[in-house]
Amino acid sequence: MRTDVSAALTDVPLHRAFVSVLGQARPVGAGVLITPRLVLTCAHVVNSALGCDRFSSALPSRGQAISVRLPHIDRDRELAGRVVPEMWRPPRSRPELGHLAPPAVGMLPYYGDLAVLELDSEALPGAEPAPFLPQRDGNEVVAQWASGHTLPTLRAMPRVSAHPWIALDVLGGTVAAGFSGGPLWDRERQAVVGLVVAAHETAGQPASALLPPDHRGPVAAMYAIGLSSIEAELPALPPVAVPAAGRGRQQLLATLEELLTTRQAIKECEERLAARLGRKSVGPAADIERLAGMAMGVRRGVPELLDTVYEHLSEHCPGALAESGGWEGLLRIAHLVSPRERLSPQRRRNLSALLMHCRSTDPAALLRTVLPYAEGLPTPVDLADATDILEGYDAPPGQRITPLLQGVVHISVQSRAASEGIADDLDAWTRSAAPRLGVAPAAVDQFRADTSAAYASTAPSRRPDTVPPRVQVELLPVSPGQLFTYQIWVWNGDGRHEVVLTQDTEVPSHQVVEAIRRVLRTEVEEYPDTALLEFFVAPAWLRLEVDTWEFPGDADDSGFHPGISRRVVLRSTERTRETYAGWKRRSSALSTAPRLLLDEHSTDPAVALARLEVSPDAGIVVVCCDQQQQGRVLRQCIQAGMHTVLWNREDQGGQLATELLALVEGIDHTRIPEAVRQARIKAMADPDCPTHHGRRLSLLHDGPDHRPPPLAPDLWALTHP
């Protein structure tokens, strides 16, 4: 074990908040102190401490005490904690809170698995709540074992952060069962960024949704619950502490002194803020320093301070809100102190609760609409995630309406058009939030009217209400392309887009197909004519013969052949702002643009690029050239933003080019995957004709919702415009 990691851990505030959870007098997991009397941990750790099944959903009674220790404060003293009923979230297999079915073995990720323990007395002197921050990709983190000693630690690097988990690659150290529930510590930012929850075991062993009680050894990957997921699962959780901010503090103090001119005003605001944040009020000892310090010390405390001051001024001196310098200056300085937070905790929760009922707005499309020129936007998981991203952006010069309010208005307009019944509530939320964000309600009303008019003019081009279900496979081949790791996602038109199966160790193709078949049977309603199977692969692997793979089955089973049983298409994992711009232009002209042929005369990249630029509206192309040259031509098609590319992985020639052009001529582009499937069926039904164009036929079909799973590793991640 690397001792430098252990030594570093003892020098940070984490050791004053680290909690060891005991079962039968031995550590079974860990937790983290979030207030002097509350401990955050995993629900499966609590179940293990009580001797229950780790996946048990039964709420422990208040009479069942869980023993905990603060090993860095007093190694031998035990404290008693009890589960807070409203903050009990046992492991479950679906996002819905009412769906308590535990996940099947090897099915990752699952949801919930969080619990909050209330201590019978305040934590020991010297203990302090841990500071929290959202995970930032690229920052190494440290995890600590539940024994409380500093030696059993490990180093990990987050691969990607998304709901509900953070996926991490273990860089050094040994994973033990006691890591469950323990904090991930970002050494650079000096904050907890998540709780350890699960791990994938080593090659040759099955994936484990939880660390088994007797596990100790190397793992391929580790998972943690991030702060955004914790807050979404536990709306009653008091705001967690954050590292103290430095910028803007003195400016904030000066502006508060200008607005709150009496000791009584300061006292009233301090008492109101303390009640909202779940902190103790200091009563008559309140002053500007304590008021600002309380707000700056917890997550979303500064927006809560703004709400408190706004309400106080509205009640006692409304003229201060209209003055040019006071309120506007406080908003400006608050954005400096807390740059990515605009909403108070309750206002954020109210918005997230409303967004759960909105199915008509695509999160990625919302970001592209509101922030068309922003670079490097992350892929949002849902609308709550999208609005959380918008919250961190200021309004552009000359525009008063913030991107956050713009996004909510867009969601409301689309929700009203789809008759989802939530638009009025979203409008009411916007009217309430706008003045607190420094935006005039009249400006919001005008923006809503303009957005409604623009949306009404484009309504006929919206996608239909019924969208075929899809199984999306993120495939990472291992050279030379005979072994694969993967993640399988389920996507449907009702807003579901979640990972249901992962494989971090290399397996052959027939195991990939068997997993796809299992997902089709258990996770997707059986629609033989409409269910679509999509493989996301890097451009270098576009010619993988995924449509010819087969799971042989057994004596009572006819096996499973993806390219015959389902429409199978390939999608590229390489998309940039430039390729998206080309794709958007070509997609709008699909119904009228001619099909384009790139034959053996277009194998030179410069020639292929020129042919594609000469036909800027063509979105469907047939590639018919030598097998060795196909890769370069396919890459040119991707970079040009082609919507659909059809090619044969082996044959070429004038007759084949004619047949493939005829295959895509005269039919709607949405029917091309089915036409390709029928061609594959005909080729298989006619084994005596080895030259049938359906043999080794492959299709790159880039639909408008081109989006990889949020948990995909960096190599698979897409850049969305």
Q: What is the pLDDT of residue 114?
A: 94
Distance (Å) of CA 704 to CA 318, 346, 380, 382, 588: 49, 35, 16, 17, 11
What whole-number distance in Å separates Cα of residue 194 and Cα of residue 32? Answer: 10
| The model's pTM | 0.61
What is the spatial distance between Cα 138 and Cα 106, in angstroms, rounded to a whole number? 27
> Alpha-carbon dihedral of residues 522, 463, 702, 686, nearest 10 degrees?
60
Which pLDDT value is given to residue 489?
84
Residues 543-568 pLDDT 10s: 888 888 888 876 556 678 888 878 88
Number of helical (H) and strand (E) elements in the chain, helices listed first? 22, 23
What pLDDT score does 88 carry? 94
At residue 671, the 3 state secondary structure works out as helix
Token pair for 175 = 């994973």
DSSP letter for each residue of 61-112: PTT--EEEEETTTEEEEEEEEEEEEEEEE--BSSSSTT--PPPPTT----B-
- pLDDT at site 357: 84
Rounded Cα gap, residues 349 and 351, in angstroms: 5
Query: Is residue 34 within 8 Å of residue 241, measured between CB atoms?
Result: yes
Task: Quote the pLDDT of residue 40.
Answer: 95
Whether residue 199 contacts residue 221, with contact meaning beta carbons closer than 8 Å, is answered with: yes
C-alpha span between 708 and 11 (Å, rounded): 40
Calpha distance 470→492 (Å, rounded):
6
Residue 439's pLDDT is what?
87
Contact 472, 499 (CB under 8 A): no
- C-alpha–C-alpha distance, residues 692 and 673, integer Å: 17
Cα 20 to Cα 22: distance, rounded to the nearest angstrom: 6
Single out the residue of 656, 592, 593, 594 nearest to residue 623, CA to CA: 656
Q: Can you list the residues of the chain whose pLDDT is less than 50? A: 1-12, 202-209, 215, 217, 461-465, 528, 709-721
HSE toward the beta carbon, residue 317, CA cutoff 13 A? 11
**What is the reported pLDDT for 527?**
56
The length of the chain is 721
> Residue 3: what pLDDT?
31
Spatial separation of the C-alpha atoms in residues 557 and 648, rounded to whole Å: 30
Q: Which pLDDT score is estimated for 64?
A: 92
The pLDDT score that the predictor gives to residue 438 is 85
Torsion angle of C-alpha atoms 176, 181, 183, 184, degrees rounded to 10: 60
3-state secondary structure of 382: coil
pLDDT at 42: 93
pLDDT of residue 78: 87
What angle in degrees, to the nearest 10, is found between the helix axes of 288-296 and 301-316? Answer: 140
156 in Cβ contact with 219 (< 8 Å): no
> How many Å apart are CA 335 and CA 293, to the nearest integer?
16
Beta-strand (E) ranges in 587-705? 596-598, 620-623, 644-648, 697-701
Whether 37 and 190 have beta carbons less than 8 Å apart is answered as no
CA distance 19 to 38: 11
- Residue 205 has a pLDDT of 44
DSSP 381: S
What is the rounded distance in angstroms from the CA atom of residue 161 to the CA atom of residue 168?
9
- Tokens in use for 111? 């949801």
Q: pLDDT of 587-629, one tens digit each?
A: 888 888 888 999 888 888 889 889 988 888 898 998 988 888 8
pLDDT at 47: 92
For residue 46, the model assigns a pLDDT of 94
Identify the pLDDT of residue 662.
Answer: 85
Give residue 720's pLDDT. 35
